[in-house]
Amino acid sequence: MEIQKWRSRLLAKRLREGAVIAYPTEGVWGLGCLPEHQEAVVRLLQLKGRAWQKGLIMVAASMDQALPYVEVLSPSEVAELDENWPGPVTYLLPKSDRTPVWVSGESDSVAIRVSGHPVIQGLCRELGGPIISTSANPSGKSPALSRLRLKQYFGNGLDEIVPGKLGGLSGPTEIRDFQKGTTTRQSGATSQGKL
């Protein structure tokens, strides 16, 4: 289900003002805010009980939105990413100077994904850039799979819950270390292809 244009405009405005939102992703509900908005990121981390040092994932609508946060890649490396994006694969890539430290944490890499999920696509297109995407759960708990669980976990701590449906994955997306060629987190199975 695509996000309505008027809603994506309103959400973009709220995100620029520092909102923390919950929204559907490929497999679980995610928490998000603008990566450059440090106060919003701090609030998101407090909601999750997550240390900033661990870093956060960003999701984007296109390669053009993702690459400014990544060190210059060769044409063959960009082509490799293009084979899997948009899709449910998050890559750990060498970060550029544009990546805020509160997003990358203590790592030299940035975790980023070009998502095919229609809600993420709509939000990121409206914003003209990526948003934070971390599973919607307090640390140590299972990721939220419903709006009810979101409310149980976070009460009134969220500024907005974006309507929409989860994609076809049975859990969070796969994470691959691009330079090492290793998988650091396996993904749930999907029957819907690239979402």
Please tell me the total count of domains within the chain: 1
- Residue pLDDT, tens place only, 71-105: 999 999 999 999 999 999 999 999 999 999 999 99
pTM metric for this prediction = 0.91
What range defines the domain where residue 122 resides?
5-185
Say how far apart CA 186 and CA 131 lie, in whole Å: 22
- Residue pLDDT, tens place only, 3-46: 888 889 999 999 999 999 999 999 999 999 999 999 999 999 99
* Bridge partners (DSSP) listed for residue 131: 59
Predicted local confidence at residue 195, as pLDDT: 35
128 has a pLDDT exceeding 70: yes
What pairing do the DSSP bridges indicate for beta strands 57-60 and 89-94? unpaired
Are 64 and 2 in contact by the 8 Å Cβ rule? The answer is no
Predicted local confidence at residue 188, as pLDDT: 56
Hey, how many other C-beta atoms are within 10 angstroms of the C-beta on 179?
A: 13
Order the strands of the 29-32 sheet from edge to edge.
160-161, 21-24, 29-32, 131-135, 57-60, 109-114, 89-94, 174-177, 182-185
Q: Is residue 190 part of a domain?
A: no
Say how far apart CA 63 and CA 5 lie, in whole Å: 22
Specify the CATH number for the domain of residue 83.
Answer: 3.90.870.10
- Residue pLDDT, tens place only, 45-67: 999 999 999 999 999 999 999 99
- Residue pLDDT, tens place only, 145-189: 999 999 999 999 999 999 999 998 888 889 999 988 788 766 654
Q: Is residue 191 part of a domain?
A: no
Among 156, 114, 159, residue whose Cα is nearest residue 23? 159
Q: Is residue 195 part of a domain?
A: no
Predicted local confidence at residue 44, as pLDDT: 98
Residues 6+ apart with CB under 8 A from 156: none
